[in-house]
A = this chain, B = another copy of it.
């Protein structure tokens, strides 16, 4: 794994660029991402390009032996472009234009903006595509940040109608698939279809999920346009996008399919404050982040990148954008870097080199203080660079599968968010609960899309596979390991229609049962079944199979047919951990129970152990018992 940094030469006097480059190299950094927010400097006036400054900046980095990841600047179209073409702006759900003044102020469906996106990327790629320092490109920046996937603009409406007409042979077919007869929502033609906002009450979920899929597809095609230009003018370079954490507003897999590397932006403390699940969690992990937060995303984006993934932005101190912005525990910058290494990252790049003294991110820590002196994280980066060097060639670890594949489906997730049927039904949260349960058992996990090969896994878990997929059913029939099917699996088609055979649809060929009812419950009303406590969601199952246990009111709990398990309720964390541990043991996967902050991760022949706290933990290592304080880790060669 290499270390990198995000750098904005346009923010600093040119006289300081050389010493910046020299210090980067000294601290152990080898890759620098730059350029993604500087359109107004590339083209301060229409067609008036200024590339020389960036040439000079890249040359200076190159002279220090640093490699460059160049960002296309389309997240920030300049004001003159917005003034020329106000209709490139997106429209929010309330129908208001989302204007200039921050970033991501464009609508993915704007044809005019797409022309300008292609133009500026082409110009930039022609300038820098074959520069020897440029080893990779980042397309745009954080697609969807600030809820920008969806736009309800006139352009989006036009494109959505077109998309609908491509999905269906006729408007009658759409009416039928969407069940528009319900409440007389039938259309006479495709041009009668509106974007799904500003209705009196809940819109047809089929309509809303279709719009979600359309919006997601717009991101993929926008990205593909840039990819196509970059492939042509900058051959041989890695193409990458920087995805975000806890973000499911578009389907990442089709976007990733045209790229080489999945990047993601890791802010463990910032993300913690988005955990509305558990107020105590925000206190316990205040200065470390939740022990499963970054790892989950590492494992997810490793799957998105088909093995190739980078942490392209790594928090190096307090950030500026969370409700509360604490400083990390001393040592966490090293810890997070090593954690990325342990999960197989090729690169860990810190955001940012130097704290900016002003603007929106004035309070966002950098490796340097605003005045250019080293900040608290600087020394930690130096140390972790040395440690990684001492470990040798860990960058190219073998891509052996983990014991467990957790299937994650963005469309399935969106389907549940479209029609949750209970305010506390959180499909992302449930997926992460399953992940946490596995990791507390000391087990490594691959998070995979539906459709990926399952050979080599001992267990497959369906977390949010809401949409019936006969192909997956067939794949699972052929799979020899344990299959754990979570609640609401295969409970609808992509048009939000329950299967004719009821849920779990085609999975009934794996396990003979059907869901005849369900209920959502307030958190304060758990339901017990034997040693387990269900909450929030519970399904009433009809089956000839005897349930493994009964709820207090006689509903069955947990159905098993051979190695196939149907879990017909959400379980509370403790129960879920016990339930998963039983399944792992039955599958003869080694379970190593972990304290709340302890995590085991094996990568190639290296075994890593991390302790996020809150207490010190004593572990058994080949060199004997070893104490890990909060924020500490260790590793050893597996024999």
Binding site for B on A (CB under 8 A): 10-11, 37-41, 44-45, 73, 76-80, 83, 90, 94-105, 145-146, 148, 178-188, 192, 194, 196-207, 279, 282-283, 286, 317-318, 320-321, 323-327, 330, 356-363, 365, 369-371, 375-376, 419, 421-424, 492, 495-498, 500-502, 516-522, 524-525, 540, 553
Contacts and interface: CB of A to CB of B under 8 A. Distances in A.
A320 B421 contact: yes
Given A79-B188, A183-B102, A358-B179, A324 B96 contact: no
Given A44-B186, A361-B182, A100 B194 contact: yes
Nearest to A46: B188
Contacts of A38: 181, 184
Contact of A99 (B44, B145, B199, B375): B199
Contact of A317 (B90, B286, B375, B517): B517
Contacts of A90: 200
Contacts of A318: 517-520
Contact of A37 (B77, B182, B356): B182
Contact of A502 (B95, B371, B519): B371
Given A11-B182, A96-B94, A357-B497, A101 B553 contact: no
A422 B324 contact: yes
Copies in the complex: 3
Contacts of A197: 99
B37 A359 contact: no
Given A45-B188, A76-B183, A358-B179, A501 B371 contact: yes
A90 B423 CA distance: 28
A282 B523 CA distance: 11
A180 B359 CA distance: 7
Contact of A521 (B79, B80, B324): B324
A202 B520 CA distance: 36
B188 A80 contact: yes
A330 B553 CA distance: 9
A371 B500 contact: yes
A101 B199 contact: yes
30 contacts: A38-B181, A44-B186, A76-B184, A79-B185, A79-B187, A97-B198, A98-B199, A99-B194, A99-B197, A99-B200, A101-B199, A102-B185, A102-B201, A102-B203, A103-B200, A105-B200, A145-B201, A182-B356, A204-B360, A205-B360, A283-B522, A286-B522, A323-B422, A324-B424, A325-B520, A358-B496, A358-B498, A362-B419, A370-B502, A376-B517
Contact of A183 (B196, B206, B360, B421): B360
Contacts of A104: 200-201
A502 to B, nearest CB: 6
A192 B44 CA distance: 13
Given A105-B200, A181-B41, A324-B521, A421 B188 contact: no
A139 to B, nearest CB: 17
A82 to B, nearest CB: 9
Contacts of A321: 202
A262 to B, nearest CB: 24
Contacts of A96: 94-95, 198
